[in-house]
């Protein structure tokens, strides 16, 4: 008989809610922490997250909690789905040292420190690094919640941790692979959001399928260039968390970051785009974090630079395209 684990999912956005539902269907005892009191009461009453995952009925065994410390108490596993800009501040509210296995579901980089989500979690909660993992892959929350076939990656520096979590999360519609390259997996999950904004801009300008494919390919090159400098493994970029998630997020209509790009291409300002969205597109903050890091360390990331210019300096998207296309000609090489 499969062992039942006591699990808390921290964050009731679309992804956190979908993962809570998946884990409950896998037979585990699940608590979902909901920060917003109004949303908490609505979910309790309707057993549906109409704000972030409308149309998906939540498993009858899921418990809902508004107190962060109560949600974390005596858990075997904690899955954290807090957007990176709010991650550190949220975790500062934890009043005791937890000994659970911790899985990051977030895809971003903290602007001030250039730390990935697991690095923020580890330093803020003072955790044992051997019990920390990141889950990442081509996974739209709605499709996972509907039980459509999906594959993903659990990465941890500790093989036993990765394999334990692999068993906990896997089922016949959610296939989990393991990886030891947590840095590479998280970096891919962050960078693909920048490229999805760029792809959205390209599609919004009606630049064609050739342009989108070229952008995705060079976006992968940019991700690898940064990744190798930070110690990531080459195989990661060719896997589910690398090229898999990059293609999905740059082409799928459910991609919130691609949606940001589409709207930027139509002339909307980033402030009005963000204020009209329920869910946070991590790529906006990640673009700033990566651009500033690259500038400081003299790393050539031209797509990231132009996305930054469009978002933060109101550069005309067509001018950004011209800047990319008029760069000096060179040999094709993912490091160039």
Last residue of one domain, picked from the residues 160, 180, 200: 180
- Give the pLDDT band (50/70/90) at residue 1: low
Mean per-residue pLDDT for 25-50?
A: 97
**150 compared with 280, residue with greater pLDDT:** 150
What is the reported pTM? Answer: 0.96
Q: Is 170 exposed, middle or buried (0-12, 13-18, 19+ CB in 10 A)?
A: middle
The verdict on 36 and 76 lying in the same domain is yes
Final residue of a structural domain among 131, 150, 180? 180
Same domain, 119 and 228: no
Instruction: Give the C-alpha separation, 221 to 3, whole Å.
Output: 42
Q: pLDDT category, 120, cuts 50, 70, 90?
A: very high
Q: Is residue 114 part of a domain?
A: yes
In a domain, 330, yes or no: no
Contact between 71 and 95 under an 8 Å Cβ cutoff? The reply is no
Rounded to whole angstroms, the Cα distance separating 24 from 27 reads: 5
CA distance 43 to 40: 5
State residue 279's pLDDT score: 87
Residue 334 covered by a domain? no
Any idea which residues carry the catalytic annotation? 192
Same domain, 142 and 278: no
pLDDT band at 158 (very low <50, low <70, confident <90, very high): very high
- Average pLDDT score, the chain: 96
* Distance (Å, whole) CA 207 – CA 252: 17
306 and 265 inside one domain: yes
Domain carrying residue 276: 189-325
Domain shared by 166 and 274, yes or no: no
Q: Six-digit token pair at 335? A: 């490091």
CATH of the domain at 296: 1.10.1040.10
Q: Quick check: is 332 in a domain?
A: no
> Crossing angle, helix 256-265 and helix 282-296, to 10 degrees?
80
| pLDDT of res. 91 | 96
Pick from 148, 180, 212: which residue ends a domain? 180
Q: Are residues 23 and 119 in the same domain?
A: yes
> Which tokens belong to 22?
């998946």
- The CA angle 242-30-142, to the nearest 5 degrees, is 45
Angle in degrees, CA 214, 217, 218, rounded to 5: 85
How many domains does the chain contain in total?
2
The token pair at 150 is 């999906």
Q: Are residues 176 and 193 in the same domain?
A: no
Q: Alpha-carbon dihedral of residues 56, 57, 59, 63, nearest 10 degrees? A: 100
pLDDT of residue 128: 86
Q: Is residue 168 part of a domain?
A: yes
Read off the tokens for 198.
């760029």
């Amino acid at each position: 008989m499969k062992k039942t684990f006591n699990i808390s999912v921290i964050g009731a956005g679309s992804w956190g809610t979908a993962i809570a539902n998946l884990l409950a269907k896998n037979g585990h005892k699940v608590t979902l922490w909901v920060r917003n009191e109004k949303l908490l009461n609505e979910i309790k009453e309707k057993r549906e997250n109409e704000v972030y995952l409308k149309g998906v009925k939540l498993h009858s065994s899921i418990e809902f909690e508004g107190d962060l410390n109560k949600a974390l108490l005596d858990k075997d596993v904690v899955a954290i789905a807090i957007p990176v800009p709010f991650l550190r501040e949220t975790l500062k509210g934890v009043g005791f040292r937890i000994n659970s296995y911790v899985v990051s579901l977030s895809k971003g980089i903290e602007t001030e420190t250039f730390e990935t989500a697991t690095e923020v979690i580890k330093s803020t909660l003072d955790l044992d690094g051997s019990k920390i993992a990141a889950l990442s892959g081509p996974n739209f929350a709605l499709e996972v919640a509907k039980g459509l076939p999906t594959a993903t990656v659990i990465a941890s520096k500790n093989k036993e941790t990765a394999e334990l979590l692999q068993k906990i999360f896997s089922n016949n519609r959610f296939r989990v692979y393991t990886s030891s390259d947590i840095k590479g997996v998280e970096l891919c999950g962050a960078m693909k959001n920048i490229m999805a904004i760029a792809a959205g801009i390209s599609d919004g300008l009606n630049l064609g399928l050739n342009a989108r494919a070229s952008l995705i390919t060079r976006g992968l090159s940019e991700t690898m260039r940064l990744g190798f400098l930070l110690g990531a493994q080459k195989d990661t970029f060719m896997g589910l968390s690398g090229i898999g998630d990059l293609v999905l997020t740059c082409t799928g209509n459910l991609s919130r970051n691609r949606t940001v790009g589409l709207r930027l291409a139509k002339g909307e300002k980033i402030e009005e785009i963000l204020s009209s969205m329920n869910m946070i597109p991590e790529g906006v903050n990640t673009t700033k974090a990566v651009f500033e890091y690259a500038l400081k360390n003299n790393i050539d990331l031209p797509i990231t630079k132009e996305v930054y210019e469009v978002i933060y300096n109101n550069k005309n998207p067509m001018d950004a395209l011209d800047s990319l296309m008029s760069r000096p000609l060179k040999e094709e090489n993912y490091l160039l």
